[in-house]
Amino acid sequence: MTIPIAEEQLKFITNIQRILDEGAFVATYKFALIMAIADYAVKKGDDTGAPLQLTTRDIAESFAEYYWRQAVPYANGNLPAAVRVLKQGTGMQPVVLRRIMELHGLFNGSLSAARKDARAWGALLNKVAATIAKMPLWKLQVVGRRVVPFLYAQHGSGNIINLQPGVVYNFRRFYDLIRNFVQGAWIRHVRILNVNLLGETDLAEFLFGAERTLFPGLRTILKSVQSDTCFYCKSKLHEGGDIDHFVPWSRYPLDLGHNFVLAHSACNRSKRDFLAAPSHLENWQKRNQLHGRTLGQEFDACCILHNQEATEKITFWAYSQAETAGSNLWLRKDDVTPIDESWRLLLR
């Protein structure tokens, strides 16, 4: 397989933009679909330019997750909760959102509790997968009256698609850019649908910001595995310390247990949106090799989602993208270092 040339990459971005600008959007499903496919490309694809087959069920999970966080009541006030959830379509609330709101009620808003209930979660994913096949999947590539089948062959029905050669590569290469495009379009759309509800809360933060749920227990778990020291500078924590996303949230919304470390507020603030330097990466790998399984059990006990393999795949992807971009890595406060190949020896 060969990776797409620059001109093809540009064409891909232009087509994504055309879908967002010119496509018809009754509900917000198409936004969630693009993001769910992009997420799948990051988690399961590679950078060879190869095609990838996937089913609606493969992307249902990520699709449902986007709506899970958005099914929380947005506005304050005396209105019933169901009315305070942001509308995601004209007319009645789209079916996926309604189902998710029901599950929110059943599981007190806890995504990990809902996922643990295999029957309830499985039923939701089946419904989501069926809805994707019926609604956005075969409409996504329709721009005006024309079909622009640049992502997958347009069969018009069915629940399997084959991402064409180069598509997975492009989604991985331009994940940030695409996420910004899609979120911007999604926010504009929701704003139009909900003029009466919008208040002082930042809509972008509400829809896509870092997880609002605090993870009770997570701090204790990390404190113990790090012996009460800062993950980065190794000196004592003293204060409670900040929970830091090792792969920064801004690069990929990765809220899985093994991606968390505990750090001084000052270290955390200084690291911001940087990936950590190889010395930190090595420590993180060691921690997960030595304690990964125990951590997993402890995460389970606290209802914290985790998947070590997926976390490592996403981390690999994040570093390979940073290498392509020639990014700096964060070493310590006010000190960064250019990325080289050494991270590859650490992440296999």
List contacts with Zn ion (CB under 5 A).
230, 232-233, 264, 267
Q: How far is the CB of 332 from Zn ion (least distance, A)?
A: 8
Residue 235 beta carbon to Zn ion: minimum distance, rounded to whole angstroms: 6
Residue 213 to residue 69: CA distance in whole angstroms: 9
Q: Which residue, 226 or 320, has its beta carbon nearer to Zn ion?
A: 226
**Closest to Zn ion by CB, 129 or 230:** 230
Cβ neighbours around 91 below 10 Å, total: 8
Exposure b/e, 30-62, CB count within 10 A at least 16 = b:
bbbbbbbbbbbbbbebbeebbebebebbbbbbb
> Do the Cβ atoms of 299 and 256 come closer than 8 Å?
no
Give a three-class secondary structure readout of 278-328.
Answer: HHHHHHHHHHHHHHHHHHHHHHHHCCCCCCHHHHHHHHHHHHHHHHHHCCE
CB of 266 to Zn ion, least distance (A): 7
DSSP string over 79-138:
S-HHHHSPP-BSSSPPHHHHHHHHHHHHTTT-HHHHHHSHHHHHHHHHHHHHHHHHTTTT
Q: Which residue has the tokens 């506005």?
A: 75
Q: Name the residue nearer to Zn ion (CB basis): 116 or 219.
A: 219
Shortest Å distance, C-beta 330 to Zn ion: 12
DSSP 216-261: TTHHHHHHHHTTTB-TTT-SB--S--EEEESS-TTT-----GGGEE
How big is the chain, counted in residues? Answer: 348
Q: Which is nearer to Zn ion, 32 or 275 (CB)?
A: 275
Closer CB to Zn ion, residue 267 or residue 339?
Answer: 267
Closer Cβ to Zn ion, 135 or 267, answer by number: 267
Nearest residue to Zn ion by CB is 230
Nearer residue to Zn ion within complex by CB, 230 or 314: 230
Structure tokens at 270: 């200084």
What is the nearest approach in angstroms of Zn ion to the Cβ of residue 255? Answer: 22
CB of 276 to Zn ion, least distance (A): 12
Rounded to a whole number of angstroms, the minimum distance from the CB of residue 243 to Zn ion is 13
